[in-house]
Amino acid sequence: MVAFVGCGGSDTETSDKASKSATSSATEAVSEVTIEPVGNQMKYEQTEFTVEAGTEVTLTFDNTASSPAMKHNVVILNGEGDDLVQRVGTAASQASDSGYVPELDAIVAATDLADPGETVTMTFTVPSEPGTYTYICTFPGHYMMMQGTMRVVEA
Ligand SMILES: [Cu+2]
C-alpha cells in the first residue's frame, strides 16, 4: 500500500522517514524520545514527536555523526515560525561561551552540545499550552536546515 503518491516533494521524504524510524513516537504521546542526526548531514532523523502538556519528558540526543564539524544540540523553541527560528539562531551564533544556547525566553529547553560520537540527555517540562513547537540545532550554520517539530497535546 502506498499512502503518498505523485508529488515527490519534501512531504513525501518526511513521510518515508517518519514511517521508518518513528511511526509510533511521531503520533503517540511519549515521555522519552531519542533523536539522532542523519549521517553527517545537518538534519535530524526524527523530525517530529508528540508529548502531553505539562509532563516531564526525557530527551536524548545521540550524535551518531563521524565528521568533526558535525557538532549538534537540540533546542526546543517556545513556538514556531521563521521569525522565531531566525531570532534564536542568530542569537545562538553569538553565544559560544554557553554552548551556542543564548539566554532567551523563546527557548523552552536545550541539550548540551554533543560532539560526534557523544550522547547528551535532558529532562524538561513540556509547556502547558498545546500546540506546535519547533526544535533546532543552534550550532552555527545549522539552524536553517536542522529543524523538527514537537507537538504538544492535551494531557
Ligand atoms: Cu547541528
Calculate how far, in angstroms, residue 17's C-alpha sits from the geometric centre of ligand 1.
19
Calculate how far, in angstroms, residue 4's C-alpha sits from the geometric centre of ligand 1.
29
Calculate how far, in angstroms, residue 6's C-alpha sits from the geometric centre of ligand 1.
31
3-state secondary structure string across 97-126: HHCCCCCCCCEEEECCCECCCCEEEEEEEC
Calculate how far, in angstroms, residue 144's C-alpha sits from the geometric centre of ligand 1.
10
Calculate how far, in angstroms, residue 127's C-alpha sits from the geometric centre of ligand 1.
24
When pLDDT is cut at 50, 70 and 90, the band that residue 11 belongs to is very low
d(CA 128, CA 50): 14
In single-letter form, the type of residue at position 46 comes to: Q
Which cell numbers in the block locate residue 43?
538534519
Calculate how far, in angstroms, residue 13's C-alpha sits from the geometric centre of ligand 1.
20
Span 14-58, pLDDT tens digits: 444 444 444 455 789 999 999 999 999 999 999 999 999 999 999
d(CA 106, CA 119): 24
pLDDT recorded at residue 27:
84
Report the pLDDT averaged over residues 86-99: 96
d(CA 42, CA 21): 17
d(CA 6, CA 28): 27
Domains of the chain: 10-153 (2.60.40.420)
Span 100-142, pLDDT tens digits: 999 999 999 999 999 999 999 999 999 999 999 999 999 999 9
d(CA 17, CA 102): 31
DSSP element (H, E) containing 52: strand 48-52
d(CA 149, CA 141): 19
Strands of the 56-62 sheet, one edge to the other: 32-35, 56-62, 119-125
Calculate how far, in angstroms, residue 155's C-alpha sits from the geometric centre of ligand 1.
31
Q: Decide if pLDDT at 6 tops 90.
A: no
